[in-house]
Structure 1
Amino acid sequence: MSFREEAEDGNLRKPFLHTGSWYRMGSRQSSMMGSSQVIRDSSVSVLACVLIVALGPIQFGFTSGYSSPTQDAITEDLGLTVSEFSWFGSLSNVGAMVGAIASGQIAEYIGRKGSLMIGSIPNILGWLAISFAKDSSFLYLGRLLEGFGVGIFSYTVPVYIAEIAPQNLRGALGSVNQLSVTIGILLAYLLGLFVQWRILAVLGILPCLILIPGLFFIPESPRWLAKMGMTDDFESSLQVLRGFDTDISIEVNEIKRAVASSTRRTTIRMAELKQKKYYLPLTIGIGLLIFQQLSGANAVVFYSSSIFESAGITSSNVATLGIGAIQVIATAVATWLADKAGRRLLLIISSIGMTVSLLIVAASFYAKDFISEDSGIYSVLGIFSVVGVVAMIIFFSLGMGPIPWVIMSEIFPINIKGLAGSVATLFNWLSAWVVTMSANLLLTWSPGGTFTIYMILSAVAVAFVSFLVPETKGKGLEEIQRSFR
């Protein structure tokens, strides 16, 4: 009997009585678990899965943070111009655009775990290419390969987490994605202070080398299994994620109904995304991921050392390390708040705080143009600009950093998730490329003007969130997706 037939005739069976299921404690359980012990606590089981897939965004963050501590050394060793290094810094975003286009379809056809496996391979090859680079061509090739893998990670990881997480923990666990990105950035900053840039590139391989074997020890997304019609595997996966003492019948029924309604039309074309039930969540997802980048946070992360040098800070690499640490702490706070304060409120507070912070930075840089470098006021203005940058990163990490990925993974119906997710992620990486490619050139032109542009875009983000973004806290995935109909 199909999911649709079960949903329509009410024959929705209790999972513990399902013939052939994993939790019959028979031979199939033994073969799949490899042990007589089972994880009974839902939060522990899900957290273990999240910690393994979080190695993907750690790799993502390491790629983002790599260019900041290595800029001077790579430029000097390989004789690169400012423009050439800007290309190096931004090419990961070009690769990520290609990865984003492919990510949704890969994740739909071979599963979330298979997608993460595929994303790991180009990352490893990319870091090896950078570590052995003798000229800019190998640097560019390595950066493109890294970006392709990161593009796959950036879509697949938040979707997998959202699909396995219990309703009351989905915001917090979903924010672990961005928390892991910030940890990766911090690691790149920290290790960049002590090791040479080629060795740092070799160290970048480690997250994927651990992720690949780790994927063999976690279950596939139950919602993907349900969509693919794997009834036994779907219920088995959900049971081990929720704990063997948990009655999962209600959640099973919800997923079956969602799959039944979505599979009446199996093929969704780009033109059909214009329907209201599709274009509204797509607009929200694309808009949030674009504003996440256009706020300029990536410019600060990629070129923080240069920004602090422009502000007159002599120990720019140490200051950059401090930024990385602050970002980790602030994102950890957002992880704790996501299921308490709510997604929408955090986004509004974050966008307003970023706007004010960027105004301070822009005003400080503008004022320095009219004051002598020997003046005490000049030093004070340098401190103000650094305070503004730090505040901007804190507010970004509280909302616009982690929450757009959480909401994107929640709002797309299962039948358009692959296509819509690819489109939204593509726009995110296109925006990231524009920002990282232009940041160094804009900062050379006018630091004050650069931060003014970012400030205006952050102010527009406040209006976008206020008028369009719904609150998804405390709602099931199927409930959120039905609301757009």
Structure 2
Amino acid sequence: MDPISSSCFSLHIEENARAIIEEQKQDEQFSEIIVSCRSLSYYEGKKFKTLIPQILAATIAASFHIVVGISLAYSAILLPQLMDAQNSTDIDAIPVTESDRSWIASIIVIVAPAGAIAGGFVMDSIGRLNMIKLAAIPSALGWVLIATATNVPMLLTGRVLTGIASAWGTSPAIVYITEIARADMRGSLISVAPAYASLGMVLAYLKGWFLDWRLVAWLCNVYTILPVILIMFIPESPAWLVSKGRIEQARKSLEWIHKYQPQPEHKSESFAHMQLAFLEKEQMLKAEEQQRLVGNNASKKLKMFIQPTGYKPLLILSGLFFFQQFSGIYITLFYAVTFFKDVGTDINPYLASIFIGTVRFCMSMANTWLMRRYRRRSLLVISAAGMAVCMGVSGLYTNWIHEGTTNQNWVPVVMLLLYVVTSMMGLLSIPWTMTAELFPLAIRGVAHSMAYSVANFIMFASIQSYYSLLHIFRGSAGIQYFFAVISLGGLVYSFIFLPETHKKKLSEIEEYFQHHTTYFSLNSNRTKTSRNNGSPQRKPIVKNTRLTEKDFIKACSGQNEKMINNKV
């Protein structure tokens, strides 16, 4: 699932794409927004002090992600402790079968899509911060059920509730940060959320090392309640307040967020008042646009799904998610301690899991930089190749350890750490980002939800099948070889089918799917064109007088003022 990665990267892509929103139809309105945005950026102070309220609000809103990270990693510490108690003389031990263990680990994944969809509707009704507060209710109930569980159904119910809470608590935080953050700081502040989630995973492994699983569950209520208390000290999203007609509350919210903004020169009104006027104008244009698009009904969207630009991205993403899930990325997260025990290393499996969580934490912060700098295809190919090599070597040494032919027990742990590093570079994160990149704007919301649901069902299948795969491949070494082969399959699949989307406009991506299925066919067509024409023909240079997506992003970042003045 990684709802954290999916929500953060998807919103990051949405933010930078800005969707070429029906360019030919909306130039006048688009220009009006650009002028307002440019004006605001011109007057916006750039000193660090002006960012303090935004940083504070973002870190508080995202703090619920800590308990989300713990929820994801909790099965890794719960299952081995249940097994140890079952094999001892503990009269309070909960008997669990292999099937029970699979369900305890995987059930949190299967409830995520339904929780996210329901949460989206509620969030738009009650607000971003209120939605996070609401998420604390199933979270607290779930952890209490787990802490007091006397049987497997209680554990499963608790996991379902914490899964729903995870879906409810992540998206509102990301949306809130997107709506309050300064344009040039938005990506950095959004990255706080996955960093918190990775920190939660480390905390889960760390506590499981020396605390009983019941006590860990009780302590999770601290991470559930504390964000709710802190949220009471920050204002609601002004954009949401304006959308609900609560203008006075929106004004107070903006005054808090921009409390350190200097008084704009030659202006009688404050920066917060200027921002409020912009939000009101933007809301009015959105309302007009919604009214214009009333005719876009479900049947029209369904017709778009049977076009190549609709079904090809969905099929390609489904295949990519298959290789992502069955390459072991999430299996090693949900079964971390058990996985390291099966490897046979002398290193404490809880300590090894802490190392894994720490690496994920560090890589979650480095990932944003990698995604901005390097091409998607290159990252995916390097990632899959590195995962295959690391898992293959780890499996080889695991086999030798079990045969007693080597004493280098540290090698599998190092290889698995490198496996996590390479997975975070591409195969873990990029499939989630592409749910926002590959689909046409008109169906992107629905298509993103469909792709997200497909990914979660495949993840559920992979986590659920772990023990079966362990039997089929006769132990830890065999399943690591299986993960290595699947990673190689992901490399080949990405090389053949995956289009390059880095720094591509959405219209270019749509054009690709309209005429191509494999990446090779694109290059083949280019070669044929070159041969037929003798040499590639240069297109005449035409001065662009239209407002483009890049212009919009630069304007909202306070850049390229001269360019915008010339175009508007």
Scaled to the shorter chain, the TM-score interval is 0.7 to 0.9
Does the C-alpha gap of structure 1 residues 67 and 169 become closer, same or farther in structure 2, counting only changes over 3 Å?
Answer: same
Which residue does the alignment assign to 2:327? 295
Structure 2 CA distance for aligned equivalents of residues 149 and 429 of structure 1? 16
Structure 1 CA distance for aligned equivalents of residues 500 and 284 of structure 2? 25
Which residue does the alignment assign to 1:35? none
Structure 2 CA distance for aligned equivalents of residues 465 and 159 of structure 1? 30
User: 1:120 is paired with a residue of what secondary structure?
Assistant: helix
**From 193, 209, 218, the counterpart of 1:177:** 193
Does the C-alpha gap of structure 1 residues 403 and 154 become closer, same or farther in structure 2, counting only changes over 3 Å?
Answer: farther
Which residue does the alignment assign to 1:220? 237
Structure 1 CA distance for aligned equivalents of residues 153 and 249 of structure 2? 46
Give the 5 Å matches for 1:421-436.
421-436=448-463
**From 317, 341, 356, the counterpart of 1:309:** 341
User: 1:297 is paired with a residue of what secondary structure?
Assistant: coil
Contact 2:36 2:278 survives alignment (8 Å): no
Contact 2:133 2:228 survives alignment (8 Å): yes
Deviation at 1:433, TM superposition (A): 1.5
Contact 2:145 2:157 survives alignment (8 Å): yes
Deviation at 1:253, TM superposition (A): 8.7
Is 1:452 the counterpart of 2:485? The answer is no
- Which digits, 9 at most, give the CA deviation of each residue in 1:411-438, with x for residues without a partner? 7777656533432332232222222222
Amino acid of the residue matched to residue 397 of structure 1? Answer: M
Which residue does the alignment assign to 1:67? 75
Structure 2 CA distance for aligned equivalents of residues 127 and 397 of structure 1? 29
Deviation at 1:47, TM superposition (A): 3.3
- Which digits, 9 at most, give the CA deviation of each residue in 1:372-430, with x for residues without a partner? x2x3x2x33x4332222111111223344445445546677776565334323322322
Shifted more, 126-135 versus 321-330: the winner is 321-330
Amino acid of the residue matched to residue 12 of structure 1? Answer: E
Structure 1 CA distance for aligned equivalents of residues 376 and 489 of structure 2? 18
Which residue does the alignment assign to 2:55? 47
- Which digits, 9 at most, give the CA deviation of each residue in 1:7-29, with x for residues without a partner? 646783765999xx9xxxxxxxx
Contact 1:179 1:402 survives alignment (8 Å): no
Contact 1:65 1:188 survives alignment (8 Å): yes
Deviation at 1:130, TM superposition (A): 0.3
Structure 1 CA distance for aligned equivalents of residues 437 and 130 of structure 2? 21
Is 1:58 the counterpart of 2:66? The answer is yes
Structure 2 CA distance for aligned equivalents of residues 412 and 456 of structure 1? 29
Contact 2:344 2:401 survives alignment (8 Å): no
Contact 1:303 1:440 survives alignment (8 Å): no
| TM-score, length-scaled by structure 1 | 0.75
Contact 2:206 2:350 survives alignment (8 Å): no
**From 394, 411, 421, the counterpart of 1:384:** 411
**From 22, 32, 40, the counterpart of 1:12:** 32
Deviation at 1:355, TM superposition (A): 2.5
Deviation at 1:312, TM superposition (A): 1.7
Structure 2 CA distance for aligned equivalents of residues 276 and 218 of structure 1? 44
Shifted more, 198-207 versus 266-275: the winner is 266-275
- Specify every segment of 5 or more residues in structure 1 that has no aligned partner in the other structure, as ranges: 22-38
Does the C-alpha gap of structure 1 residues 471 and 482 become closer, same or farther in structure 2, counting only changes over 3 Å?
Answer: closer
User: 1:54 is paired with a residue of what secondary structure?
Assistant: helix
Give the 5 Å matches for 1:2-151.
8=28, 12=32, 44-75=52-83, 76=85, 77-151=93-167
Contact 1:174 1:406 survives alignment (8 Å): no
**From 392, 395, 405, the counterpart of 1:359:** 392
Shifted more, 50-59 versus 61-70: the winner is 50-59
Amino acid of the residue matched to residue 355 of structure 1? Answer: A
User: 1:57 is paired with a residue of what secondary structure?
Assistant: helix
Amino acid of the residue matched to residue 383 of structure 1? Answer: W
User: 2:210 is paired with a residue of what secondary structure?
Assistant: coil
- Which digits, 9 at most, give the CA deviation of each residue in 1:187-219, with x for residues without a partner? 001111222211100112223312334445244
Amino acid of the residue matched to residue 353 of structure 1? Answer: G
Structure 1 CA distance for aligned equivalents of residues 250 and 147 of structure 2? 45
- Which digits, 9 at most, give the CA deviation of each residue in 1:422-481, with x for residues without a partner? 3233223222222222223423443233223333333343355554354456x9xxx758
- Which digits, 9 at most, give the CA deviation of each residue in 1:87-136, with x for residues without a partner? 21122122324324434444455554444343332121111100111111
Deviation at 1:229, TM superposition (A): 7.8
- Specify every segment of 5 or more residues in structure 2 that has no aligned partner in the other structure, as ranges: 1-20, 41-46, 86-92, 265-270, 512-568
Give the 5 Å matches for 1:229-378.
244=261, 264-265=293-294, 267-268=297-298, 271-272=302-303, 274=305, 275=307, 291-314=323-346, 315-341=348-374, 345-366=378-399, 371=403, 373=404, 375=405, 377=406
User: 1:12 is paired with a residue of what secondary structure?
Assistant: helix
| TM-score, length-scaled by structure 2 | 0.66
**From 197, 202, 212, the counterpart of 2:218:** 202
Does the C-alpha gap of structure 1 residues 121 and 331 become closer, same or farther in structure 2, counting only changes over 3 Å?
Answer: same
- Which digits, 9 at most, give the CA deviation of each residue in 1:294-347, with x for residues without a partner? 331221122222222222223222222222222222222224444444666544
Amino acid of the residue matched to residue 82 of structure 2? Answer: I
Structure 2 CA distance for aligned equivalents of residues 48 and 152 of structure 1? 21
Amino acid of the residue matched to residue 148 of structure 1? Answer: I
- Percent identity, please: 25
Does the C-alpha gap of structure 1 residues 436 and 72 become closer, same or farther in structure 2, counting only changes over 3 Å?
Answer: same
Deviation at 1:283, TM superposition (A): 5.8
Structure 2 CA distance for aligned equivalents of residues 297 and 308 of structure 1? 14
Over the aligned positions, Cα root-mean-square deviation in angstroms equals 4.5
Residue correspondences, number:
455
Shifted more, 198-207 versus 79-88: the winner is 79-88
User: 2:330 is paired with a residue of what secondary structure?
Assistant: helix
Does the C-alpha gap of structure 1 residues 79 and 156 become closer, same or farther in structure 2, counting only changes over 3 Å?
Answer: same
Structure 1 CA distance for aligned equivalents of residues 57 and 493 of structure 2? 33
- Which digits, 9 at most, give the CA deviation of each residue in 1:59-114, with x for residues without a partner? 22101211222323223221223332222112212232432443444445555444
Does the C-alpha gap of structure 1 residues 212 and 470 become closer, same or farther in structure 2, counting only changes over 3 Å?
Answer: farther
Contact 2:146 2:159 survives alignment (8 Å): yes
Structure 1 CA distance for aligned equivalents of residues 132 and 385 of structure 2? 35
Structure 1 CA distance for aligned equivalents of residues 26 and 248 of structure 2? 17
Does the C-alpha gap of structure 1 residues 16 and 456 become closer, same or farther in structure 2, counting only changes over 3 Å?
Answer: closer
Does the C-alpha gap of structure 1 residues 403 and 257 become closer, same or farther in structure 2, counting only changes over 3 Å?
Answer: farther
- Which digits, 9 at most, give the CA deviation of each residue in 1:254-302, with x for residues without a partner? 9987886666146546625505565566567666655543331221122
